[in-house]
Amino acid sequence: NAFKHRSDCMNKKIGATITIVILTVIDQLTKYFASSNLYPDKTAKFIPGLVQFRYAENTGMAFSMFENSRWFFIVVTAVACVAILVYLYFFKCNSYWLYWSLVLVVSGGIGNMIDRVFYGFVIDFIEPTFVDFAIFNFADCLVTVGAVSLISYLVFDLIKDMKKEKGKNNE
**Displacement of CA 42 from its chain's centroid (Å):** 27
In whole angstroms, what is the distance from residue 121 CA to residue 112 CA? 9
Active site residue 157: no
Characterize 34-60 residue by residue with b for buried, 16 or more Cβ atoms within 10 angstroms of its Cβ, and e for exposed.
beeebeeeeeeeeeeeeebbbbbbbbe
Active site residue 140: yes
The residue annotated as part of the active site, out of 41, 132, 140, 157, is 140
The residue annotated as part of the active site, out of 27, 41, 115, 124, is 124
Counts for the chain of helices (H) and strands (E), in that order? 4, 3
Q: Decide if 114 contacts 107 (C-beta within 8 A).
A: no
In whole angstroms, what is the distance from residue 92 CA to residue 87 CA? 8
Full DSSP string of 99-146: HHHHHHHHHHHHHHHHHHHHHSSEEEEEEESSS----B-HHHHHHHHH
Q: Decide if 53 contacts 40 (C-beta within 8 A).
A: no
Residues with catalytic annotation?
A: 124, 140
